[in-house]
């Protein structure tokens, strides 16, 4: 008798990874804070990663100051919203 697995298939796994990578690259901090399926810890981790990346770019001098200030305000607001939820 052959075993049948109820787990996800390789194709479903790849699709899940594509969705995760889309979340990482395409969602704004506000969209992440409002996302319905991410846990609070996942939201905090993703937004914190965005903040770290922005700080790295700023340290290298590769970011425009106005854009940095706007993005940092957006990130800080999203972090506050997730922490309060």
Is residue 35 pLDDT above 60, yes or no? Answer: yes
Is residue 3 pLDDT above 50, yes or no? Answer: no
Q: Residue 24: its pLDDT value, please?
A: 53
Cβ-based burial of 12 (10 A; exposed 0-12, middle 13-18, buried ≥19): exposed
CA distance 28 to 69: 15
Percent of the chain with pLDDT over 70: 71
CA distance 41 to 47: 10
In the 8-state DSSP scheme, what is residue 63? S
Q: Residue 26: its pLDDT value, please?
A: 78
pTM of this prediction exceeds 0.75: no
Average pLDDT of the residues of the chain:
78
In the 8-state DSSP scheme, what is residue 74? H
């Amino acid at each position: 008798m052959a075993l049948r697995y109820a787990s996800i298939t390789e194709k479903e796994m790849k699709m899940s990874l594509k969705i995760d990578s889309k979340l990482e690259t395409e969602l704004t901090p506000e969209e992440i804070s409002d996302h319905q399926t991410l846990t609070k810890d996942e939201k905090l981790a993703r937004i914190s990663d965005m903040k770290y990346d922005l700080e790295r770019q700023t340290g290298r001098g590769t970011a425009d100051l106005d854009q940095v200030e706007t993005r940092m305000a957006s990130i800080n607001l999203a972090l506050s919203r997730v922490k309060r939820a």
